[in-house]
Amino acid sequence: MAPVITPVSSSIELPDSSTVVIIGAGIIGLSAALTLAERGIPVVVLEKGRIAGEQSSRNLGWVRKMSRAAPDVPLALAADQLWSQMPERLGADVGYRQAGIMYLARSEAEMQQHEQWLASVRHLSLDSRLLNPSQINNMVPGGQGRWAGGIYTPSDGRAEPTLACSAIAQAALKKGVRIVENCAVRNLIMSAGRVSGVMTERGAIHCEQVLLAGGLWSRCFLGNLGVSLPTLPLVASVVRTAPLEGPADIAVGAPDFSFRKRLDGGFTITQRGALYAPLMLDSLLLGRQYLPMLRAQWKNVRISLGRDFLSDLMLGRRWKGHQISPFERIRTMDPPTLPALNTEAMNNLIAAWPVFQHAIIKQAWGGMIDVTPDSLPVICKLEQTPGLTLASGFSGHGFGTGPAAGQLAADLICDTTPLVDPAPYRLDRFQR
If you ran DSSP here, which 8-state letter would residue 276 be given? E
pLDDT of residue 351: 98
pLDDT surpassing 80 at residue 25: yes
CATH, residue 75: 3.50.50.60
Q: Report the pLDDT value the prediction gives residue 298, as an integer from 0 to 100.
A: 67
Least confident of 217-231, 262-276, 300-314, 363-377: 300-314
β-bridge pairing 232-241 and 185-191: unpaired
Query: Does residue 1 have a pLDDT over 70?
Result: no
Q: Is residue 287 part of a domain?
A: yes
Count of residues making up the chain: 432
Amino acid at 377: P
Tens-digit pLDDT profile for residues 64-97: 999 999 999 999 999 999 999 999 999 999 999 9
**70 and 121 Cβ atoms separated by less than 8 Å:** yes
User: Is 368 domain-assigned?
Assistant: yes
**In terms of pLDDT, which residue wins out, 291 or 324?**
324
Q: Note the pLDDT of residue 208.
A: 98
Q: How distant, in Å, are the alpha carbons of 37, 216, 312, 380 from that of 30?
A: 10, 16, 28, 17
* Domain of 58, in residue numbers: 20-431
Specify if 350 maps to a domain. yes
Measure the CA–CA gap between 76 and 207, rounded to whole angstroms: 31
> pLDDT tens digit string along 195-241?
999 999 999 999 999 999 999 999 999 999 999 999 999 999 999 99
Look at residue 311 in the predicted model and tell me its pLDDT: 82
DSSP 392-429: E--TT-HHHHHHHHHHHHHHHHHTPPPSS--GGG-GGG
**pLDDT value at 432 more than 80:** no
Q: How confident is the model at residue 333 (pLDDT cuts 50, 70, 90)?
A: very high
Q: How high does pLDDT run on average in the chain?
A: 95
Beta carbons within 10 angstroms of residue 71's beta carbon: 14
Rounded Cα–Cα distance for residues 298 and 314 (Å) = 29
**12 is a domain residue:** no
User: Do the Cβ atoms of 279 and 310 come closer than 8 Å?
Assistant: no
pLDDT of residue 42: 98
The Cα 329–Cα 351 span in angstroms is 43
User: What share of the chain in percent tops pLDDT 70?
Assistant: 99
pLDDT tens-place string over residues 296-320: 776 777 777 777 877 887 888 899 9
What is residue 124's predicted lDDT score, i.e. its pLDDT? 95
Complete edge-to-edge strand list for the sheet that includes strand 194-200: 185-191, 194-200, 203-206
Q: For residue 221, tell me if it sits in a domain.
A: yes
Q: pLDDT value at position 383?
A: 92
Between 46-55, 75-84, 109-118, 299-308, the lowest mean confidence (pLDDT) is in 299-308
- Residue 256, classed as helix, strand or coil, is coil
Q: Is the pLDDT of residue 276 over 90?
A: no
Stretch 166-180: mean pLDDT, rounded? Answer: 97
Task: Write down the pLDDT at residue 307.
Answer: 79
Residue 303 included in any domain:
yes
- Rounded-to-integer distance, Cα 279 and Cα 308, Å: 7
How many domains in the chain? Answer: 1
Q: What percent of the chain is predicted at pLDDT more than 90?
A: 85
> What one-letter code names the amino acid at 72?
D
* Dist CA 157 CA 99 (whole Å): 5
Is beta strand 301-304 parallel, antiparallel or unpaired with respect to 275-278? parallel
pLDDT(147) > 80: yes
Of 75, 64, 126, nearest to 418 by C-alpha is 75
Domain-located, residue 240: yes
Domain assignment present for residue 14? The answer is: no
**Distance from CA of residue 45 to its chain's centroid?**
18
